[in-house]
C-alpha cells in the first residue's frame, strides 16, 4: 500500500520526501483501521490537488515566534505535511520550554488527527491538538449548521502503548451515519436533526441536511465554539464562519500544544500513575453482558496488531480507484 501510494503521489508531482511522508501517513491510518481518513480519503485528496485546493509545492512558514508560542501559515499546502511540521515544532518548543504552542492557519484537512498525537507521544510529549472545520452542526438552539465538528486530540506517551483520544465534537461522523444507513440500521443514539427539527437516530432522516448533534447537546455545542475561537484567534486564521463560505473546506485553522513531562524526572512514577487509572477503569464489572472498557487508543492498538498480522482490509472499489488514478497520470 505504501509503495503504491508513494508512486501515486510521486506521479502527482510530490518530492520523494513528501511522497514518502504522505504514503506512510495514509498507510498507518489504514493499518490502524481508520480507512475513512486513510486509504479511502486518497482519491478526494487527489481531486483537491487537481482542483488547485491543495498546493503541493507550498511550504508552511513561521509568521511569528514569541518565546514558547509560534504562529505558522500553511500556505494552503497538504494538511498532513503542514501538521507534521507544526507537531514537530511544538515538540521542539515543549522540549525547550516545558510547554509550547504552534498555531497554524491556511492549512488543509490533516486526515486522522490521532496521527499527530501519536507522533508527539513517540517523542515523549503530551499533545493537545485541535482543528476547525466547515460548519456541520447547529449551535444549540439554532436551526442551521454554524459549528464545525472540530476534532480534538489528547495524547499521553506510555511505554505499553500511548493513550490517544481522537474525537470529533459531533456524536457521530457523517461517514459513520452513512455506514449505518447502508446496513439498514438505526444509530444507537440520536445523531442529528431531521426535517421536522427533531433529534433522530434514523440515518435516512438526518443524512439529507447536514445538521449533526454535538456530544452532550449544549455542552458540545459550546466546546466546539471555543475550539473554533481558539484556533481562529491564535492563528489569526479563518473561522468556521469563513470556511463555510468557501466552495470546498480549505484554509482551516489549527492549534498544536505539546508538554514534555520528562522534565519532571519521574517518568516511572508517571507510568505507574497512568497504569493505576487504566487498571481502575479496566477492572470493573461490565454494564451489560459482553461489554468491556478501553482506555482511549487501546482499540486502535488492537486493530493495528490484527491488521499487521492478517493484512489490511481495504474496499475493492477504493483500491481500484487508486490504481486507476496512478495509471491515468
Residue 7 CB, nearest distance to its own copies (Å)? Answer: 37
Which CB, 11 or 262, lies closer to its own copies? 262
Long-range contacts of 87-92 (CB under 8 A, 24+ apart): 87/116, 87/119, 87/120, 87/127, 87/129, 87/256, 87/258, 88/119, 89/62, 89/256, 90/120, 90/125, 90/127, 90/256, 90/257, 90/258, 91/119, 91/120, 91/123, 91/125, 91/258, 91/260
Distance CA 29, CA 110 (A): 12
Query: Which CB atom, from 202 or from 298, has the smaller least distance to its own copies?
Result: 298
Q: Which of 37, 162, 265, 282 is catalytic?
A: 37
Minimum CB separation from its own copies for residue 198, in Å? Answer: 9
Q: What angle (nearest 5°) sits at the alpha carbon of residue 220, between those of residues 240 and 246?
A: 15
265 is catalytic: no
Q: Which is nearer to its own copies, 15 or 293 (CB)?
A: 293
In the complex, least distance from residue 152 CB atom to its own copies, rounded to whole angstroms? 8
Q: Which three cell numbers stand for residue 76?
A: 494552503
Closer residue to its own copies, CB minimum distance, 44 or 277: 277
State the minimum distance, in angstroms, from the CB of residue 34 to its own copies: 16
Between CA 235 and CA 29 the distance in angstroms is 27
Supply the residues annotated as catalytic: 37
Amino acid at each position: 500500500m505504501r509503495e503504491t501510494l508513494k508512486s501515486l503521489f510521486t506521479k502527482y508531482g510530490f518530492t520523494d520526501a513528501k511522497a514518502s511522508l504522505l504514503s506512510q501517513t495514509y498507510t498507518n491510518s489504514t493499518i490502524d483501521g481508520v480507512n475513512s481518513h486513510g486509504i479511502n480519503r486518497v482519491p478526494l485528496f487527489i481531486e483537491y490537488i487537481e482542483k488547485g485546493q491543495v498546493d503541493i509545492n507550498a511550504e508552511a512558514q513561521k509568521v511569528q515566534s514569541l518565546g514558547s508560542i509560534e504562529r505558522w501559515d500553511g500556505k494552503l499546502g497538504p494538511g498532513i505535511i503542514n501538521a507534521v511540521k507544526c507537531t514537530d515544532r511544538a515538540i521542539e518548543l515543549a522540549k525547550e520550554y516545558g510547554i509550547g504552542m504552534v498555531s497554524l492557519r491556511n492549512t488543509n484537512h490533516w486526515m486522522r488527527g490521532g496521527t499527530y498525537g501519536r507522533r508527539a507521544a513517540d517523542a515523549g510529549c503530551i499533545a493537545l491538538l485541535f482543528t476547525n472545520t466547515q460548519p456541520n452542526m447547529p449551535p444549540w438552539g439554532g436551526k442551521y449548521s454554524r459549528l464545525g465538528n472540530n476534532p480534538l486530540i489528547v495524547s499521553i506517551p506510555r511505554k505499553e502503548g500511548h493513550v490517544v483520544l481522537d474525537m470529533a465534537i459531533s456524536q457521530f461522523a457523517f461517514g459513520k451515519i452513512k455506514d449505518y444507513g447502508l446496513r439498514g440500521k438505526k444509530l444507537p443514539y440520536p445523531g442529528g436533526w431531521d426535517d421536522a427539527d427533531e433529534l433522530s437516530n434514523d440515518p435516512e432522516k438526518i443524512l439529507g441536511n447536514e445538521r449533526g448533534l454535538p456530544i452532550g447537546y449544549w455542552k458540545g455545542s459550546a466546546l466546539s465554539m471555543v475550539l473554533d475561537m481558539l484556533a481562529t484567534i491564535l492563528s489569526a486564521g479563518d473561522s468556521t464562519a469563513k470556511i463555510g463560505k468557501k466552495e470546498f473546506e480549505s484554509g482551516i485553522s489549527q492549534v498544536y500544544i505539546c508538554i514534555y513531562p520528562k522534565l519532571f524526572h519521574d517518568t516511572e512514577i508517571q507510568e505507574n500513575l497512568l497504569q493505576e487509572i487504566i487498571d481502575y477503569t479496566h477492572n470493573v464489572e461490565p454494564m451489560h453482558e459482553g461489554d468491556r472498557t478501553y482506555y482511549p487508543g487501546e482499540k486502535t492498538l488492537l486493530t493495528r496488531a490484527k491488521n499487521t498480522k492478517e493484512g489490511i482490509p481495504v474496499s475493492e472499489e477504493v483500491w481500484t480507484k487508486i490504481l486507476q488514478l496512478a495509471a491515468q497520470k
